Amino acid sequence: MVNNIENRILENDKRAAARLITMLENKDPEGFRILKSVYAKGGNAYVIGITGPPGAGKSTLTDKLVKAYRKKGKRIAIVAVDPTSPFTGGAILGDRVRMNDLNTDKDVFIRSMGARGHLGGISEATSAAVKVLDIFGSDIIFIETVGVGQSEIDIVKNCDTTIMVMVPGLGDDIQAIKAGVMEIGDVFAVNKADRDGSARTAREIEMMLDFNKTLAWRPPVKMVVATENKGVDELVEAIEAHREHMLTSGAFTTRRIQNAKSEVVSLIKERIEQSILDNAHNEDKLSTFSKEIVSRALDPYTVVERLYEEIKDTIHIK
Amino acid sequence: MERPIRVLVAKPGLDGHDRGAKVIARALRDAGMEVIYTGLRQTAEQIVNAAIQEDVDCVALSILSGAHNTLLPKVVELLRGEGADDILVIGGGVIPGEDIPFLKEKGIKEIFTPGTPTQVTIDFIRGNVNR
């Protein structure tokens, strides 16, 4: 057992922080009670999101960025999210493989999380884990998403600077102008820049960014070779420039308020969803209804209205 | 409370053979566990740091180099030093039968030698984690 978590976490106790994250991941009410009691102590960490397609080099780049920030004496935490099997609920969390050197640095805390059914690129508990690691005393927290496709943009609601990691050869310039993940980068890193096509990839991203003339911050595009630590210092400079912009323009606070808003909305949604589902699963109503939908005795819209009517009064929705 | 068991699968020491560790990692995943895989050539210190930060229920050590009598007890000892002796430690690999009593005495709860069906390991973990 790990006792007295609320005091120990303020004393930079790793075991307490690790256990609290587990409790929050498992939706243990005691975990939320503890987090509420220490929440006011947080707010000091700067949060950097790292996202990009699978195999783009997010973990390797995170490893190199963390080393660069460690040279500046910063205390670092990393939350690395990997996919959970939709069939068994199991997961292989392998981001630590690329971060082995960081493992014995006492000022680096790495936590791997399974996405556990959440589809936005991070897990439901990621934002809670970030709060814990902030209160625990980290200066900078990196969130590494699962490998993303085109629309997993939850990361942006959880961080102050988003780094979009791209690699050459993923598609033509029409990919770069689609909506979704390409719109959320504050800094773009073209990794594996020693490969053919990297200059073209960078150019296509630049052109995509140039379409939008109204941006207060024009995201820079940096070429890196993470495995060889090339271009990492320049990438750090670009991140620092964005951080400076966020802090001086007031965008930092605006974004955090926006993020708090969207967090509250999603927590409300989650709670309402849970009460609807708890009710629907009661006496296996949902299975019965579903069979009737398939046999055309009912339609899904009528089922939704019935289930909604049943719980409406208990949660006071207008 | 329904929650996945978290297992750290690690390879201490210097041998470079990770097929067994990967098979076990995959089997535990398919059994619904969250497996933190750390890769090759880990020191006991690295393994223990990872186990603490990941708050795992079990550390599964795969070793084929012959250094098991040194490295496996070292992991248990360091976990104890961190107050984390509630974490279940198990081992697997090419480990001679005559070494197993010594390893168990040192706190490695079970040793799985080649040919063990993965289900045996899965059942052992489910039956012996402390939370």
- At residue A177, does pLDDT exceed 90? no
Nearest CA among B30, B32, B31, B42 for reference residue B9: B42
Q: Quick check: is B15 in a domain? A: yes
Who among B1, B30, B55 is closest to A18 (CB)? B55
Q: Quick check: is B60 in a domain? A: yes
Q: What is the mean pLDDT of residues B31-59?
A: 93
User: Domain span at residue B113?
Assistant: 6-126
Quickly state the pLDDT bin for A318 (edges 50, 70, 90): very low
What pLDDT, on a 0 to 100 scale, did the predictor assign at position A110?
95
Q: Quick check: is B23 in a domain? A: yes
More confident residue, A173 or A43: A43
Who among A14, A88, A90 is closest to B53 (CB)? A14
Q: Tell me if A26 and B37 make a contact (CB, 8 A cut-off).
A: no
Residue A188, min C-alpha distance to chain B (Å): 28
Q: Quick check: is B28 in a domain? A: yes
Q: Tell me if A85 and B30 make a contact (CB, 8 A cut-off).
A: yes
Quickly state the pLDDT bin for A182 (edges 50, 70, 90): confident
Q: Tell me if A25 and B3 make a contact (CB, 8 A cut-off).
A: yes
Quickly state the pLDDT bin for A55 (edges 50, 70, 90): confident
Q: Tell me if B82 and A109 make a contact (CB, 8 A cut-off).
A: no
What pLDDT, on a 0 to 100 scale, did the predictor assign at position B53?
96
Q: What is the mean pLDDT of residues B33-51?
A: 92
Tokens of B130: 């402390």
- A4 to chain B, any CB pair closer than 8 A? The answer is no
What pLDDT, on a 0 to 100 scale, did the predictor assign at position A172?
61
- A1 to chain B, any CB pair closer than 8 A? The answer is yes
Q: Are A189 and A61 in contact (CB under 8 A)?
A: yes
Phi, psi of B36 (to 5 degrees): -95, 115
Q: Quick check: is B54 in a domain? A: yes
Nearest CA among B32, B31, B30, B25 for reference residue B10: B25
Who among B4, B45, B53 is closest to A110 (CB)? B53
Q: Tell me if B32 and A88 make a contact (CB, 8 A cut-off).
A: yes
Q: Quick check: is B1 in a domain? A: no
Count up the domains in chain B and report the number.
1
Q: Are A205 and A175 in contact (CB under 8 A)?
A: no
List the end-to-end C-alpha distance of chain A, in Å, as a whole number.
44
ipTM summary value: 0.90
Q: Give A201-248 pLDDT, tens digit per residue.
A: 899 889 888 887 778 899 999 999 999 999 999 999 999 999 999 999
Residue in chain B nearest A109 by alpha carbon: B53
Could you give all domains of chain A from N- to C-terminal order, each with its CATH number?
A: 1-40 (no CATH), 42-249 (3.40.50.300), 261-315 (no CATH)
B17/B21 Cα distance (integer angstroms): 8
Q: Quick check: is B131 in a domain? A: no
Q: What is the mean pLDDT of residues A143-170?
A: 86
A32/A23 Cα distance (integer angstroms): 8
Residues near A43 by Cβ (< 8 Å), separated by ≥ 6? Answer: A134
- At residue A183, does pLDDT exceed 90? no
Q: What is the mean pLDDT of residues A255-278?
A: 87
Q: Give A64-119 pLDDT, tens digit per residue.
A: 999 999 999 999 999 999 888 888 889 889 888 888 889 889 999 999 999 887 87
**CATH code of the domain covering residue B120:** 3.40.50.280
Q: Reduced to 3 states, what is the DSSP secondary structure of residue A109?
A: strand
Residues of chain B positioned with their CB less than 8 A from the CB of A104:
43, 45-46, 49
Q: Quick check: is B24 in a domain? A: yes
What pLDDT, on a 0 to 100 scale, did the predictor assign at position A122?
85
What pLDDT, on a 0 to 100 scale, did the predictor assign at position A306?
87
